[in-house]
Amino acid sequence: MIKILLENFYVQLLIIGLILTLVYLQLTKKRLNEPPIVYYRYPIFGHTFQFMTNCEKLIEESREKYGDAFTLYIFGKLMTVVRKDAIYDVYKKEGHDFNFQESPEVLLLTKYLFPYAAIDVNRSIKILRDFFKLKLANNTSKIHQTIIESMNEFVGECVEPKLIKSPNELLLNTYLRIAANLIVGEECASYVDILETFKDLFYSVYKSFFMPKLLSFIHPWLHDQVASFSLRFISNHRSKIINRIRPVIERRLLNKSKLGDSWDAPVDCLQLFLDDPEIAPDFNPNHVNYNMIVDTIGVFMFASMGITSNAAAYALVELAKRKKDYWQELYQEAQEINKKSNGKPTYKDFNNMVKVDMFIKESLRFNSNVLSVPRPCVRETYTFANGFQIPYGRPVFLDISEISFSEELNGQNPQEFDAHRHNSPATKPDNGFLIFGSGIRACPGRFFAILLAKIFLYHVLLNYNIKAELENAKHKQYAGFFIGLLKPGKAGIVFEKSA
């Protein structure tokens, strides 16, 4: 049959026509002026293992050899790293030519792990942004009180010196209570099981995120299925959280319908789902969409937990290591605020702790990630000002650590820790400080994260003497963002009650 077909003149003509068309398309295909691909020795694996084990060195060497932009081959994918001015260009074009929310890391979160949150991510983020901008002041004393309680429980009075082996874990437990309080509200946060569920959820999602993407060598979809499997099919986190928030929501709705405007509604994110038309335009009190609420809360909790507790832990570890140079001035500032406010500092008082703010900012700069979350190019071809072009779908990493350690942008001796180099608040993204991103996607939680770190340091300064377990401890071994393994360093802190 095939033989007869192939002998047919018209079929032969068709095949020749197809071949000629393919050759023509290939010859006339627009060649892009792509950034050079960094040399790699092993086909298929490309730069994957170097990226996972020593990303810092890989990027440093590639900068030197390949200049302004270069492309790496990681987990079966070409990924372009851009530097300097191209970084600000990408931030400016976010939402048009690039889209952070389309990055596989963010999609894993919104599409596979918390699928009901995907209704309108931008609307939820706007609410989060407004909540932290407008409602943080009302919550300051609640945050302060939770820090005092957590420190009493996890660290104690420390009449005798006490070693806290993992400041990250201490801050994660503290942050969990604070975030739960602000996000699901005081009542829900008082249940130990909901805190445990959030913590389990965090660790499960964290593992999915940092799981080496070996299956991506075959296809990224396969990796996502395996990474999200346990959370989607085994964990019953959603029903556990719903069991706790359902009675709270029902009570709130009842109070609202009974008391109307005279009801004093709680100031937390959960309440926004119940009465903010922007976040829940189709809200029906008789048909509450619990899945959407729980998954959106899941995204908020995951986006904030690890990174925020790490940030406060960096500041604590840096303070312990640099006590000689900074303790006295920071202690004085904390003491002045404490005196002025009779031991009850307000949001404004914490905002006035400028020296502590600069110290936190420097800790963040000094512990900067090597690269940003990669975001894909979402237009057919994008041409950078330096002439390089990338095709649709190409993930782009921003070389953040080069900015953080640039002498031109951050002053003399950028490799040294110097909190006095800063002259603007830690919450303000500027050209030399991109830890919270920049532009329309700049982190909506940054005001909250910095306030929390400030209150935490304020409490430590006034109540403890601290010492680094190992003076030269490196907080963590740096890795590329969200891909591969992240090894936390050993950086224990010894706490002792202050005289």
DSSP bridge partners of 495 = 162, 466
The span from the CA of 7 to the CA of 310, in Å, is: 71
The span from the CA of 368 to the CA of 311, in Å, is: 10
Amino acid at position 285, single letter = P
The span from the CA of 326 to the CA of 498, in Å, is: 16
Element (H, E) at 383: strand 381-383
**Cβ of residue 57: shortest distance to ligand HEM, in angstroms?**
23
The span from the CA of 337 to the CA of 350, in Å, is: 8
Contact 105/209 with Cβ under 8 angstroms?
yes
**Cβ of residue 200: shortest distance to ligand HEM, in angstroms?**
19
The span from the CA of 486 to the CA of 467, in Å, is: 25
Rank residues 50 and 80 by Cβ distance to ligand HEM and give the closer one. 80
Rank residues 56 and 469 by Cβ distance to ligand HEM and give the closer one. 56
The CB-nearest residue to ligand HEM is 445
Helical pair 290-321 and 323-340, crossing angle rounded to 10 deg:
120
**Cβ of residue 76: shortest distance to ligand HEM, in angstroms?**
24
**Cβ of residue 448: shortest distance to ligand HEM, in angstroms?**
5
Rank residues 105 and 496 by Cβ distance to ligand HEM and give the closer one. 105
The span from the CA of 125 to the CA of 299, in Å, is: 10
Can you tell me whether residue 98 is helix, strand or coil?
A: strand
Residues that bind ligand HEM (CB under 6 A): 100-101, 125, 128, 300, 303-304, 307-308, 311, 372-373, 435-437, 441, 443-446, 448-449
**Cβ of residue 401: shortest distance to ligand HEM, in angstroms?**
13
**Cβ of residue 94: shortest distance to ligand HEM, in angstroms?**
6
Rank residues 92 and 497 by Cβ distance to ligand HEM and give the closer one. 92
Q: How far is CA 448 from the centre of its chain?
A: 13
Annotated binding site: 443
**Cβ of residue 82: shortest distance to ligand HEM, in angstroms?**
13
The span from the CA of 113 to the CA of 111, in Å, is: 6
Rank residues 88 and 283 by Cβ distance to ligand HEM and give the closer one. 88
Annotated binding site for heme: 443
CA angle 27, 32, 35 (to 5 degrees): 140
Q: Which residue has the tokens 């306030």?
A: 451
Rank residues 76 and 437 by Cβ distance to ligand HEM and give the closer one. 437
The span from the CA of 454 to the CA of 305, in Å, is: 16
**Cβ of residue 212: shortest distance to ligand HEM, in angstroms?**
22
CA angle 270, 272, 276 (to 5 degrees): 155
Rank residues 51 and 448 by Cβ distance to ligand HEM and give the closer one. 448
The span from the CA of 95 to the CA of 85, in Å, is: 18
The span from the CA of 437 to the CA of 422, in Å, is: 17
Rank residues 87 and 158 by Cβ distance to ligand HEM and give the closer one. 87
